[in-house]
Structure 1
């Protein structure tokens, strides 16, 4: 399969403007911008034919030239990374799969993406695939505390018996009756924001209007469900380090610690 990784990156993040260019230190203490670390993470994935950054900002494009990754420029009118990937299709050579590798998901293990490619290869009917991992009960309790404090701690997903997503939410789902968190592992699946799309799924995505649910949750993947496109959910193993994303300035120190724990320069 001709699989291409695209890394959507925008400068004007509402919570952290300019975050793709924020420097982060790893094991050796050398600073690298977030976008470079995300490219390095994407390049560790086996079985892909190329990695490109997709952006509408010349500052990000200029930074990418410094470490030798291809850039596809897209319109500033793109509302999310999936729309940016859809627009970038015209610049690609007929890929079988497009992988949306989040620009702030620098700690995503390569095996997560390889599992998506395997699922799409084995299931010719699958149009979209995304990974999720089971949360330990202690992690769920921490997220419950985040919710009670009015903060969003992650996105959860519930699935059907065909491993297709029923719903994604920034609230913890499903409901957890008393005693549910008595064991080490919980029933809660944390969604990992990486996607594998077939090109026709992206075409249908941009042809589908934004729904009220997508707006309320702030989750772009809900548009696939509204459009009637099944989203295959691939269970992946919980890594030994925290899968943190850079959303706010206070995330820098924990991410740098996770980079060290993961042994990344």
Structure 2
């Protein structure tokens, strides 16, 4: 059974309804993410791609792209839940949850996370990027208009995640001095990409939403609150440095990045 890359693509986003079908520089958001997933599967080898959606319009669009797609229960509220719904009948060893609003993920990250779990006994893996000061300033500025866009991660020296938050963490008492002495800030931005062992994802789905998960709106906190270790993989910053597409302002930013740096595929070669 090949490993499975699932693209959860929900129509009913509160902040940006129908966002998988929204055009970004001439291509739908879903089309862009499918392209990422296919390249990640090619690099990983022995991996398949499926779109998991709650809406027939998205299902039809995915199939028009030549991508396998399944219709999942509209009551499912999390990307991990939709990934589980798509994977449970197939029982792959590893399930990758590639959020349907993440068009700038480097496919190499998908392959790297799959490789990390294939070569270890880890349960969950996810990438993070350490921000330089300019990138941190840009994140803070963007949060002025979109406070819940962009997630930070606090991790230990071995790469184990300690916490994830929509707030910029950690707070810094002596930031001015740090800026003078360090090229990089101590802030890690989380890239919304996960690889799970099938059994870890099954246990996650059997656990009710946890308090901090609900407060932050971050499903990965359910793992941490349940005592499950999440391994973070530090990666180089992507050329198109932004988080997921959550608001009209994010759509505009994505189009500006494409205009400035070109199509993401250019950076994959």
Taking structure 1 as the reference length, the TM-score comes to 0.91
1:23-62 correspondence runs (5 A)? 23-25=23-25, 31-45=26-40, 46-48=43-45, 49-62=47-60
Question: Does structure 2 conserve the Cα–Cα contact (< 8 Å) formed by 1:15 and 1:248?
Answer: yes
Determine which structure has the larger helix proportion and give its number: 2
Q: Which shows bigger deviation, 128-137 or 175-184?
A: 175-184
Question: Does structure 2 conserve the Cα–Cα contact (< 8 Å) formed by 1:165 and 1:231?
Answer: yes
Aligned in 2, Cα 1:263/1:142: closer, same or farther, shift over 3 Å? Answer: closer
Question: Partners of 1:103 and 1:149 in 2: how far apart?
Answer: 22
Aligned in 2, Cα 1:181/1:52: closer, same or farther, shift over 3 Å? Answer: same
Q: CA deviation at 1:225?
A: 0.8
Map of 2:246 onto structure 1: 247
Aligned in 2, Cα 1:149/1:240: closer, same or farther, shift over 3 Å? Answer: closer
Q: CA deviation at 1:147?
A: 5.0
Aligned in 2, Cα 1:60/1:143: closer, same or farther, shift over 3 Å? Answer: same
1:135-214 correspondence runs (5 A)? 135-146=131-142, 151-178=147-174, 179-182=177-180, 183-214=182-213
Question: Does structure 2 conserve the Cα–Cα contact (< 8 Å) formed by 1:136 and 1:184?
Answer: yes
Aligned in 2, Cα 1:175/1:13: closer, same or farther, shift over 3 Å? Answer: same
Question: Partners of 1:147 and 1:70 in 2: how far apart?
Answer: 35
Q: CA deviation at 1:177?
A: 2.2
1:106-121 correspondence runs (5 A)? 106-121=103-118
Question: Does structure 1 conserve the Cα–Cα contact (< 8 Å) formed by 2:128 and 2:189?
Answer: yes
Question: Partners of 1:109 and 1:245 in 2: how far apart?
Answer: 13
Query: Cα deviations across residues 229-252 of structure 1 (Å, max 9, x unaligned)?
Result: 101100011122323422112222
Map of 1:28 onto structure 2: none
Q: CA deviation at 1:262?
A: 4.1
Map of 2:101 onto structure 1: 104
Structure 1: tracts of 5 or more residues without a match: 26-30
Q: CA deviation at 1:228?
A: 1.3
Map of 1:64 onto structure 2: 62
Say whether residues 1:19 and 2:19 are aligned partners.
yes
Question: Does structure 1 conserve the Cα–Cα contact (< 8 Å) formed by 2:150 and 2:243?
Answer: no
Q: CA deviation at 1:2?
A: 3.2
Q: CA deviation at 1:202?
A: 0.9
Aligned in 2, Cα 1:15/1:257: closer, same or farther, shift over 3 Å? Answer: same
Question: Does structure 1 conserve the Cα–Cα contact (< 8 Å) formed by 2:97 and 2:193?
Answer: yes
Query: Cα deviations across residues 110-156 of structure 1 (Å, max 9, x unaligned)?
Result: 111122112212222x1000000000112222333455667234111
Aligned in 2, Cα 1:258/1:145: closer, same or farther, shift over 3 Å? Answer: closer
Tell me the matched-pair count.
258
SS in 1 for 2:44: coil
After superposition, the CA RMSD in angstroms is 1.9
Taking structure 2 as the reference length, the TM-score comes to 0.90
Map of 2:92 onto structure 1: 95
Question: Partners of 1:256 and 1:123 in 2: how far apart?
Answer: 38
